Amino acid sequence: MKSLKICLGSILLCATISLYGQTPTYYGSGAGTGGFYNSFFGQRAGTATTASYNSAVGAFSLYTNTTGQRNVAMGYSSLRKNTTGSYNIGVGMSSLYNNTIGNYNVAVGYYTLHKNSNGIHNVGIGYYTLYSNTQGIDNVATGSNALFYNTTGNSNVATGSHSLQENTTGSENVATGYRAMFYNTTGYKNTAIGTRALEDNTLGYNNVGVGADALKNNAGGYRNVAIGNTALGYNTTGIGNTAIGYNAGPGSAGSGYFYSSGLGAYAIPTASYQVRVGHTGITSIGGAQNWTNLSDGRFKEDVKENVVGLDFIKALRPVSYYVNNEAINQFLGVELEEAAINNTKQYQTGFIAQEVEATAKELGFEYFGGVDAPKNGNDYYGLRYAEFVVPLVKSVQELSAQNDELKALIQEQQAQIDALLKANAPITLDSKTLPTLSKAKLYQNTPNPFSKETQIKLFVPEEVQQAIIQVCTIDGKQLFLKEVSDRNETLVTIETNNLSAGIYLYTLIVDNEIVTTKKMVVTE
């Protein structure tokens, strides 16, 4: 064993340098003894150390360390109170100052991880980063004051000056950017990327804010997603909202909306459970296929055929118009950037929502879903034109039924016309038939008019094989037939039964040939 003792000055710096073997190296007064492969530089550095593989540079660094090993302390009082903690790195004045049994921590910067006692696997880089952490584990903080007040929060990542500064017990948060998630205290599982993203969040959880000022004012809202500068910037307590695009999401009036979505720059939902795509200047929204609505009979209940059809469609007023986008933006409180303004007048055809709503109510069509009425004072009317297909189909069905009825009526009337034409057509009789017809007689009924019954006098020759009295309406529609069985002079009684008041025709037909026709009148 060879060694060299060097003294400079009086006793200010004195050291024993080991040239060979496992003797520890000490620089400065009060250095500890014991252990192997230790290096201590500074007054009272590693004073109590009996463990091995430690390095301390600076007065009072690793001052109370006893059995902790493989630690690196650089800076005045860095890892000062460490006793059994191992595998720690403290670089900077008072870094990891209060660490006692915590392991695997890295602190680089003035007062970084200053209060950590038994927290493990933490990384703090920067002035006052993770300053208040005591038992929190698996945290990473990079930037001045990042995670400053964190005490027991775990698995947080803060990158940027003052990011997650106020966090105390919140865990599993990621904040990247100046003042990102600045005021978060107990909120958890949030992701904020961008300057001031989720800055005011305190209790909210499961939020994602990407972009400068994204979800900036969120306090207790949760499960929100904002991608784009100032996206969902006004949200405070809203839940489950999504905004993608610059300044997308509800305006100031929608701070507490639920499950609304704004897709595109300046896409502004105006109520909960609402989706808005694009701003007022957008002229086309589409894709390769038509929109598909859920329409599965397994999930439909209380099905009724109560849709108003033709009456509703006939009452609508189709119009053409120009849309005043500037007025809409003023109503929404949106100031578009010059690049986003579309001054082209949008000429459209359609209906006025208020008129459609009034028509539906007037007809008792309370279930018509084509009108999207305002949900609050900041919302506006809209129409779902696809919903008009249902009453249109009903209208076509009603028109088809009417058409079928008209066809049947036309056919019936044509048959009556054919019968009348046949009745009035010239009759060609052979010599054998003529004597029989000339003998057959039909007289006027009595009484006439009548209300209950009347009698018709007639003469039917003996040689006639069949004689019939036919009763028709005035327009020739047959009502009934009454066979005459007697011959020669006889009487036939006609009762009104279901005959309503009016004029009727009665005809004598012998052996399929018409003799004559007369009128009778039924009164009430």
Q: Are 146 and 162 in contact (CB under 8 A)?
A: yes
- Beta bridge partners, 244, equal 227, 263
User: Which is nearest to 307 in space by CA: 350, 363, 362?
Assistant: 363
- Non-local CB neighbours of 46 within 8 Å, separated by 6+ positions: 26, 31, 32, 38, 40, 54, 56, 61, 62, 63, 65
The C-alpha atoms of residue 342 and residue 336 are separated, in whole angstroms, by 10
| pLDDT attached to residue 424 | 54
The C-alpha atoms of residue 370 and residue 308 are separated, in whole angstroms, by 13
Question: In the chain, which stretches have pLDDT less than 70?
Answer: 1-34, 339, 413, 416-417, 420-438
DSSP SS3 for 192: strand
Instruction: Give tens-digit pLDDT for 419-449.
Output: 766 665 544 445 455 566 668 999 999 999 9
pTM for the model stands at: 0.72
DSSP states along 134-150: SS--S-EEESTTTTTT-
